[in-house]
A and B are shown apart, each in its own frame.
Chain A
Amino acid sequence: MCTAEATASLLQVEETFSACLARINTLILKPLLQAGSDQKGKENFKLFLLLNDRFQALWNLTEENYCMLKQKHSSSESFCIQDIYAHHKTVLKQFLTDFTSETSMSLALYTVLHKPIRDHIEHYILLLTKLNEVLKEGPEKDVVTSAIKEYVKLESFVSQVLDEACFTKSLWKSLSYKFTDMLCVPERRLLEDSKNLPISASTNRSDRILLFDDVLVLIQGNSFQSFDLKLVWVDENLSLFGSYYVFFTVGPAILFLCPQAVWQWKLNQAVRQALNGKRDFPLWGKTGEGTKPPSCRFFTYVFRLEGKFKNTSYEGEWHWGKPHGKGTLKWHDGRNHVGDFKEGLEHGFGICLVPRKSEDRYDCYKCHWYEGKMRGYGICEYGNDMVYKGYFKDNVRQGFGILENFSAEHPFKYSGQWENDKKNGYGVWEDKDRGERYIGTWLDDHKHGQGIVVTQSGVCYQRTFHADKMVGSGILLLEDDSVYEGNFTEDLTFVGKGKLSFANGFILEGTFTNKSGQGLQTHGILNTSNEQLDDRITKVQLGLEEFPVEKRWKGIYDQFLEFIHSGCKEETEESFTGFHIQTSKELRKSQEYLFCQKYEGTEDVSWKTEDILEELVQHQELESLQSYLEKALKSSLHPLGKLLKALTIAFQATYSGIGANRHLLTMAQEEVKYYAKKIWEFYQGLLHLALEQKGQLPSKCMDEDTSDEKACSVVLPLILPCFYPELFMLYMLYHEREDDLYCQGIVDLSLFPDIKLLEFLDVQKHLWPLKDLTLTTNQRRSLIKDKCFLSATECLQKLITTVDPREKLVILQKTYEEIESTVSRVVEKDYRLPMDDLLPLLMYVVSRAKIQHLGAEIHLIRDLMDPANRGGLYDFLLTALEVRKCFQQRQLEVAVAFLE
Chain B
Amino acid sequence: HFDHNISPTIGASFMTKTVPCGNELHKFLIWDTAGQERFHSLAPMYYRGSAAAVIVYDITKQDSFHTLKKWVKELKEHGPENIVMAIAGNKCDLSDIREVPVKDAKEYAESIGAIVVETSAKNAVNIEELFQGISRQIPPLDPHENSNNGAIKLGKQTSQTGRRCC
Q: Name A residues whose Cβ lies closer than 8 Å to a Cβ of B.
A: 705, 709, 762, 830-836, 838-839, 867-868, 870-873, 875-877, 879-880, 882-883, 886-887, 890
- Residue B11 is within 8 A (CB to CB) of chain A in the complex: yes
In the docked arrangement, what's the CA distance between A839 and B45, Å? 13
Is the beta-carbon distance between B9 and A836 smaller than 8 angstroms? no
Contact with A along B27-55 (1 / 0, CB 8 A): 00101111110110110011001000000
Q: How far is the CB of A841 from chain B (nearest CB, A)?
A: 11
In the docked arrangement, what's the CA distance between A877 and B46, Å? 11
Is the beta-carbon distance between B39 and A887 smaller than 8 angstroms? yes
**Besides the contacts A834-B11, A835-B158, A883-B45, what 18 more A-B pairs have beta carbons closer than 8 Å?**
A705-B144, A762-B36, A831-B11, A832-B9, A832-B10, A835-B13, A835-B35, A836-B161, A867-B147, A868-B147, A871-B152, A872-B29, A875-B153, A876-B14, A877-B14, A883-B42, A886-B45, A887-B42
Q: How far is the CB of B30 from chain A (nearest CB, A)?
A: 9
- Which chain B residue lies CB-closest to A838? B13
> Can you list 7 A-B pairs, Cβ within 8 angstroms, ordered by A?
A836-B35, A836-B36, A868-B147, A868-B148, A870-B153, A871-B151, A876-B14
Inter-chain contacts of A879 with B (CB < 8 A): 31, 45-46
| A832-B153 in contact given A839-B34, A871-B29, A872-B29 (Cβ < 8 Å) | no
Inter-chain contacts of B49 with A (CB < 8 A): 870-871
- Residue B91 is within 8 A (CB to CB) of chain A in the complex: no
- Residue B164 is within 8 A (CB to CB) of chain A in the complex: yes
Interface members, chain B 67-101 (any A CB < 8 Å)? none
In the docked arrangement, what's the CA distance between A832 and B30, Å? 14
- Residue B143 is within 8 A (CB to CB) of chain A in the complex: yes
Is the beta-carbon distance between A834 and B153 smaller than 8 angstroms? no
Is the beta-carbon distance between B38 and A871 smaller than 8 angstroms? no
- Residue B8 is within 8 A (CB to CB) of chain A in the complex: yes
In the docked arrangement, what's the CA distance between A871 and B35, Å? 20
Is the beta-carbon distance between A876 and B39 smaller than 8 angstroms? no
Is the beta-carbon distance between A834 and B32 smaller than 8 angstroms? yes
Inter-chain contacts of B10 with A (CB < 8 A): 832
Q: Which of A833, A871, A877, A880 contacts B11 (CB 8 A)?
A: A833
| A832-B11 in contact given A870-B49, A871-B148, A872-B29 (Cβ < 8 Å) | yes
- Which chain B residue lies CB-closest to A872? B29
Is the beta-carbon distance between B13 and A876 smaller than 8 angstroms? yes
- Residue B102 is within 8 A (CB to CB) of chain A in the complex: no
Interface members, chain B 135-163 (any A CB < 8 Å)? 143-144, 147-149, 151-153, 158, 161
Inter-chain contacts of B41 with A (CB < 8 A): 890
Number of cross-chain contacts by CB at 8 Å = 76
In the docked arrangement, what's the CA distance between A202 and B148, Å? 77
In the docked arrangement, what's the CA distance between A24 and B125, Å? 136
Is the beta-carbon distance between A762 and B45 smaller than 8 angstroms? no
How many residues from B make CB contacts under 8 Å with A? Answer: 32
- Which chain B residue lies CB-closest to A887? B42
Q: Which of A832, A876, A886, A890 contacts B31 (CB 8 A)?
A: A876
- Residue B12 is within 8 A (CB to CB) of chain A in the complex: yes
In the docked arrangement, what's the CA distance between A876 and B11, Å? 15
Q: Which of B42, B152, B153, B161 contacts A886 (CB 8 A)?
A: B42
In the docked arrangement, what's the CA distance between A870 and B50, Å? 11
- Which chain B residue lies CB-closest to A886? B42
Inter-chain contacts of B164 with A (CB < 8 A): 834
| A835-B32 in contact given A867-B147, A871-B153 (Cβ < 8 Å) | yes
Inter-chain contacts of A868 with B (CB < 8 A): 147-149
Inter-chain contacts of B45 with A (CB < 8 A): 879, 882-883, 886
Pairs of residues from A and B, 8 with the lowest C-beta to C-beta distance, nearest first:
A871-B153, A832-B12, A835-B32, A835-B13, A835-B34, A871-B29, A832-B11, A867-B147
In the docked arrangement, what's the CA distance between A867 and B13, Å? 21
- Which chain A residue lies CB-closest to B5? A829
In the docked arrangement, what's the CA distance between A880 and B12, Å? 14
In the docked arrangement, what's the CA distance between A880 and B148, Å? 21
In the docked arrangement, what's the CA distance between A872 and B149, Å? 12
In the docked arrangement, what's the CA distance between A48 and B112, Å? 126
Is the beta-carbon distance between B147 and A870 smaller than 8 angstroms? yes
Highest count of chain B CB atoms <10 Å: which of A832, A867, A880: A832
- Which chain A residue lies CB-closest to B39? A839
Q: Which of B8, B33, B38, B148 contacts A832 (CB 8 A)?
A: B8
In the docked arrangement, what's the CA distance between A657 and B31, Å? 42
Inter-chain contacts of A882 with B (CB < 8 A): 45
Is the beta-carbon distance between A762 and B12 smaller than 8 angstroms? no
In the docked arrangement, what's the CA distance between A833 and B11, Å? 6
Q: How far is the CB of A716 from chain B (nearest CB, A)?
A: 14
Inter-chain contacts of B36 with A (CB < 8 A): 762, 836
Inter-chain contacts of A870 with B (CB < 8 A): 49, 147-148, 153
In the docked arrangement, what's the CA distance between A653 and B8, Å? 53
Is the beta-carbon distance between A762 and B14 smaller than 8 angstroms? no
- Which chain B residue lies CB-closest to A871? B153
Inter-chain contacts of B12 with A (CB < 8 A): 832-834
In the docked arrangement, what's the CA distance between A875 and B14, Å? 10
| A833-B13 in contact given A762-B38, A871-B148, A887-B39 (Cβ < 8 Å) | yes
Inter-chain contacts of A867 with B (CB < 8 A): 147
In the docked arrangement, what's the CA distance between A705 and B143, Å? 8
In the docked arrangement, what's the CA distance between A877 and B164, Å? 19
Inter-chain contacts of A872 with B (CB < 8 A): 29, 148
In the docked arrangement, what's the CA distance between A879 and B41, Å? 14
